[in-house]
Amino acid sequence: MLKKICFHAALLTVLTGCLSSSAPLRKGKVYIGKQGDQYQLYREGQPFTIKGAAGFENLRELSAAGGNTIRTWDTLHLGKILDDAYANHIAVIAGFPMPVSGFLLYYNDTAKVATQYTAFRNVVNRYKSHPALLMWCLGNEIDFPYKPQYNSFYTAYNRLLKMIHTEDPDHPVTTALINFNKRCIYNIRLKVTGLDLISMNIFGELHDLQRNLDNFSWFWDGPFLITEWGINGPWESEFTTWGAPIENTSTKKAEQYLQLYQQYMPVKDPRFLGACVFYWGNKQEVTHTWFSLFTKEGEASETVAVMEYLWTGKWPPYKAPALKYVLLNGKGARDNILLNPNSLQTAELLLRDTAGGPLRITWEILAEDWHTKNQDEPNLQKPVAYNNLLLPPQGNKITFRSPVKEGPYRIFATVSDNKGHFATANTPFYVVSR
């Protein structure tokens, strides 16, 4: 009995020692400090709270809105991104892309792993002294499993992590998880040595984040960063009967961004280091409008104004046009609209507010984007357009011929003002062959 008590006491001591701090607190040009329960990121000796955006475009607009950080997912054009960021007083979280942990054909290939190590070391040494660099992110949503079969992944990961800290002791290293993932956090704590903080990409589950943080603090109470946050993704949305996700208008999205941040962002948590809104730029992900806060031409959505308010406490003088929705033959997306092929249809854009001056409406008909390389890699190219089916618009309405080919489509309306803003709405429909 005495031996059993001693064993349990020793085990408790070991666990307590392991759990007392989730990351070593290093001091360099950028480091994470701790006073009591409060964690704080420091940059050049000054407290730095990340007011960030996921993306690497529209940096002048980010700085003007009160943002101070971007995060990237890879090192492509990293030198230019760092230079542009520095010119706009923006810090950079530079991402190292890694295959997911389950890709064991890669991690068991010593030659490929060695090539990756050399390439990453070259990047670290090339950019570690750049004044815009804030931290490194080693892997994005790569997953941290438990089984011994993944030991080659952990060996490669820990070797890279050690290399980054050795070559560049001045910048912290994190990794980005999908949501608040207890399993990954367990395995990071038990199998990974040296991460300075844990980051999360979180959308629909942001509502539960603070509760999850509190309930799991007995095991992990270290600093964290939110590297992506935003409205519900297409995978979390309502769907039509044929499986097309239903997208809200940009006006509704702006309201949701504001509500999410004010009600659910854990800004008062002493472990919170900041957050990066998704997506500061233009991106195709199911649609070209779902996450895009800008058009390709650089027009800003209403969410950009929301972020300026959240970062600075002040609304900009102008916001984007406000929309209600697009109706197709008087029906909305939730009506599961079925159309005959090659037949005349009418769409109408309903505006919420027309007091902002002259507006320009652009209509598009696109095939539904159901193309993926695999479940983890959505298509990044805008789908085929059928704009030749559109007839000349009349005010807020347009008539078009439905496509001949059976299948799923969407009609998009984009509204632009003369002050550099846009708003967008779309409605999915399905053409049924006779």
Q: Looking at residue 27, what is its pLDDT?
A: 67
Q: In the numeric block, which tokens belong to residue 222?
A: 């270290």
Return all residues near 311 (Cβ < 8 A) that are at least 6 apart.
Answer: 51, 65, 66, 67
Return all residues near 201 (Cβ < 8 A) that are at least 6 apart.
Answer: 140, 141, 176, 177, 178, 179, 226, 227, 228, 229, 278
What sign does the dihedral 8-10-13-18 (CA atoms) show?
negative
Q: In the numeric block, which tokens belong to residue 167?
A: 């070559």
Phi, psi values for residue 294, rounded to 5°: -140, 155
Check if the beta carbon of residue 260 is closer than 8 Å to that of residue 229: yes
Check if the beta carbon of residue 415 is closer than 8 Å to that of residue 361: yes
- How far apart CA 411 and CA 387 sit, in angstroms, is 10
Return all residues near 413 (Cβ < 8 A) that are at least 6 apart.
Answer: 323, 326, 347, 349, 361, 362, 363, 424, 425, 426
Q: Looking at residue 7, what is its pLDDT?
A: 36
pLDDT tens by residue, the chain, 434 residues: 434 334 333 333 334 333 334 444 556 799 999 999 999 999 999 999 999 999 999 999 999 999 999 999 999 999 999 999 999 999 999 999 999 999 999 999 999 999 999 999 999 999 999 999 999 999 999 999 999 999 999 999 999 999 999 999 999 999 999 999 999 999 999 999 999 999 999 999 999 999 999 999 999 999 999 999 999 999 999 999 999 999 999 999 999 999 999 999 999 999 999 999 999 999 999 999 999 999 999 999 999 999 999 999 999 998 899 999 999 999 999 999 999 999 999 999 999 876 567 899 999 999 998 765 555 667 788 988 999 999 999 999 999 999 999 999 999 999 999 999 999 999 999 999 87
- Backbone angle region of 336, left / alpha / beta, with phi > 0 → left and psi within -120 to 50 → alpha: left
Angstrom CA distances, 370 to 21, 30, 341, stand at 44, 42, 20
Instruction: Please give the helix or strand (H or E) that residue 96 lies within, else none.
Output: strand 91-96
Q: Looking at residue 318, what is its pLDDT?
A: 87
- How far apart CA 103 and CA 108 sit, in angstroms, is 9
- How far apart CA 75 and CA 224 sit, in angstroms, is 22
> Is 192 exposed, middle or buried, given 0-12, 13-18 or 19+ CB atoms closer than 10 A?
middle
Give the orientation angle of helix 78-87 with respect to helix 110-127, to 10 degrees: 30
Number of DSSP helices (H) and strands (E) in the chain, helices first = 10, 20
Check if the beta carbon of residue 398 is closer than 8 Å to that of residue 427: no
DSSP states of 120-146: HHHHHHHHTT-TTEEEEEEEES-----
Closest CA to 266 of 326, 189, 197, 214: 214
- How far apart CA 101 and CA 252 sit, in angstroms, is 37
Check if the beta carbon of residue 224 is closer than 8 Å to that of residue 270: no
Closest CA to 337 of 411, 398, 421, 277: 411
Q: Which domains does the chain have, with CATH numbers?
A: 22-312 (3.20.20.80), 322-431 (2.60.40.10)
Residues β-bridged to residue 317: none
DSSP 8-state secondary structure symbol assigned to residue 386: -
Q: In the numeric block, which tokens belong to residue 199?
A: 């980051």
- How far apart CA 425 and CA 325 sit, in angstroms, is 6
Q: Give the alpha-carbon dihedral of 412, 371, 232, 273, to 10 degrees.
A: -120
Q: Is 365 helix (H, G, I), strand (E, B) or coil?
A: strand
